[in-house]
Amino acid sequence: KAGVTQTPRYLIKTRGQQVTLSCSPISGHRSVSWYQQTPGQGLQFLFEYFSETQRNKGNFPGRFSGRQFSNSRSEMNVSTLELGDSALYLCASSLVGHSYEQYFGPGTRLTVT
Amino acid sequence: AQSVTQLGSHVSVSEGALVLLRCNYSSSVPPYLFWYVQYPNQGLQLLLKYTTGATLVKGINGFEAEFKKSETSFHLTKPSAHMSDAAEYFCAVSDVSGNQFYFGTGTSLTVIP
């Protein structure tokens, strides 16, 4: 089976712009979670989608949003980018839900200038 | 809310020596516990997990971890370190409802030849 794929792998944006990141889960996985990883804050949970519904949400501002499509692919959007949004954004898919092991993609490295 | 504490952000061991990475969690209810490894510029890879049953869990690459409820710990060990073990290691916990997934801050393992 193909693993979790994320596109693009690298992205450079300017402060104030918006960005959309994409994640394709492992075939058959219906849960997709997003994480932000930074040197200072570590791995922080953004949100989880299951069957096209946001089931869990972390403590991030409303500028961070996401959605999931009927084929379980997910997108994450960040509007009005700030310098502090520079991070590695990781997507993880899971067969059943959050309590089972998650399979991570390679991440999208976002740099905001 | 759950929390995960990884003692020691940096651990160095000699090649062939015992690897011990510490993880403690806070939970009033036995959670699901995981160890992940992250190599540079890659996503996270599951090493092992504890959900129920045997408290000594064996994972990939010779790693194992023991769930000790009385100590609220889930330390990761490997009898003999290999150069390829150099990476960042993350302990994670999910409550049994599966509603949240929490990561520790990570431990960077250096293996000295």
pLDDT digits (tens, 9 = 90+) for B70-82: 899 999 999 999 9
Asked whether the beta carbons of A102 and A92 are under 8 A apart, the reply is yes
Average pLDDT value for residue range B51-78: 92
Give the pLDDT of residue B36.
95
Cα–Cα distance list, B40 to A9, A29, B65 (Å): 14, 26, 23
User: Chain B residues with CB inside 8 Å of A103's CB?
Assistant: 46
Residue among A101, A103, A108 with most chain B CBs within 10 A, to mutate: A101
Cα nearest neighbour of B40 on chain A: A106
Tell me what the mean pLDDT of segment B42-61 comes to: 90
In a 13 Å sphere around the CA of A80, the CA atoms on its Cβ side amount to 4
Amino acid letter at B54?
A
Of B81, B75, B84, B45, the C-alpha closest to B57 is: B75
Cβ density class B12-40: b for 16+ within 10 Å, e for less: ebeeeeebebbbbbebeeebbbbbbbbee
- Per residue in A6-18, pLDDT (tens digit) is 999 999 999 999 9
Dihedral sign for Cα atoms in the order A14, A39, A88, B111 = positive
Q: Given a cut of 60, is residue A98 above it in pLDDT?
A: no
* Contact call for residues B87 and B109 (beta carbons, < 8 A): yes
Task: Residue B100: list chain A partners with CB under 8 A.
Answer: 45, 56, 98
For the stretch B69-95, what's the b/e string if a residue is b when 16 or more beta carbons lie within 10 angstroms of its beta carbon?
Answer: eeebbbbbebeebeeebbbbbbbbbbb
